[in-house]
Structure 1
Amino acid sequence: MYVIACIYISLCERYERLVALNQRPSYFPRKLLQQNNDHHKDTSAAFRAYRAASFCRETTSDNTACTDQRANYTFGTKEALPEEDPSVIARLNRLQEHYQRSGMRRTCEGILLVHEHGHPEVLMLQIANAFFKLPGDYIYPEQTEIEGIVSRLNERFEPLGNTDPKEREWVIGECLAQWWRPNFETFMYPFLPPHITRPKECKKMYLVHLPQHKTLSIPKNFKLLAVPLYELYDNAARYGPQFAAIPHLLSRFNFEMVDEQGNVISRSVGAPQALDGSDLIPMVV
């Protein structure tokens, strides 16, 4: 009897689910389907138009990242920009002074992407042939995060004697990650431990959309590197856990590789294509 009761209950639950599914609203207007019930070709055309509109919304969403060729950008040099901290210990000491004066430090860094040979690369700065860092730094308490990262990018890359206001403009995208420093130590984590109520620093990484052409001037004491994603991936021993995680952060984006004339020359495998296949272009392999 127990087995029969279980089977009966299971059948009742399935019946209820089927009834609920039949009562759910269709994603395609039911009235339109009824009106075109005798004209299957018209209904099919309307459905294709409906799907095409949905496709357009998907392809213009934020999960597509355009990257321009590295050769599109002009790289120059300018006067050295001295580091505020000669050592890691000095940086932690200054962090402690900042915390006592202004509370938790806020740091913003930019992930700038270019491409070469059909593969995305991240622009990184190298100091003394040893330390790697993304362009950016701590921001002042009175600044918003966007204001802070824009000022830091200009500090790093603005050409000397620049008079063109466009060279000071940056398109800041979404925040891709935030790292927390619980104590006055070198360790940072991509989460805030539950027992930490007063973190010492919060670092955020923003995706920065570069224009098709731009001049970047690098301080003489820095070296600008374009590091491929495959070099960063699973390479915490060389670049540290924060930079080794960048390929994971970017994995949800579909990359479009743009040439010097602004034409899309390749697209990441798996990127959405038009329904009729009219926009097919060579895939990155």
Structure 2
Amino acid sequence: MLALAVHPDIHHPHSTASRPSRHHVPSRSQSSSSSASVSTTSASASSSRIHQPPPISRRAPSPSPPRLRPPLDPPSLDIHSYPSTELLRLLAALLTQIASTNDALKESAAKSTSIRTQFPPDLFNASRASLANPASTLTFHARNIPTITLEAYLLRILKYCPTTNEVFLSLLVYFDRMSKITARAFVIDSYNIHRLVIAGVTVASKFFSDVFYTNSRYAKVGGLPQAELNQLEIQFLLLNDFRLVIPREEMQRYAEQLLVFSTTGTFDSEDDTETEGGWTSTDDEPTIRPPRSEDSCSIASEDSFSMPPTPREERTP
């Protein structure tokens, strides 16, 4: 029997290989819904891209630098125009506080009797010899505390021996220098402050002013014998090593520190400045230009007083 060959052009009903592939054609409703969903998705995506707010930064803001307040200028004191009575009130308050504080330190005051063997190398021989004597710092020491207050004592000096503010301010500088030269062996207390003041005013008036008074007048105003004031004047010069020059800047610093003390109650002494100094005469001869009679105030007999004497055993020879 002959086999029948299948012609390629003839479609065989049972052949699957030659069946044409069927393509699914979506209906109109499905097509429209698909396109609608695609458009909705794209629209929502574009809308999210357009209206999405920018991301918020989580980084903490950098702190702003603190505002620095400008430093307060120290109070200024015009030495020439400042009222003398007010200046003496401030000066008396400071010196009284220092003296009262040292009165309570009995042990520190007792150390002033010790002899110091080491001195600054540039001291004059006379000052060096005086400092070697323990009684040099006790020359101003009184037997009893004077009854007159320091403020009244300063005002009395201003009344009967008027002088400039530089003279009174120089007392702070000289006292500070005396303390440094003696290595703190010199201590201001209530027993010596009055004699230190009258001796300092006597020395400073002759150095800073062309017009000053005789030692006899300073002694009468200060309530001391003239011979004792002469001795105190010499000892005051020795304890300052005859260095009386005070630069203007240094004087101004002490004046401003005094003004600060009046508001804060603290006083910072300045470092000693090496300066050249001179010394003044200790005689009782009339000055070059003595005060005129109309400018000189007479001391009434009822207004005179005397300072308590120094112990005889503590007086320097």
Regarding TM over 0.5, the answer is no
Q: TM-score if structure 1 supplies the norm length?
A: 0.26
Which structure carries more strand by proportion? 1
Q: Which has the higher helix share?
A: 2
State the structure with more CA Rg: 2
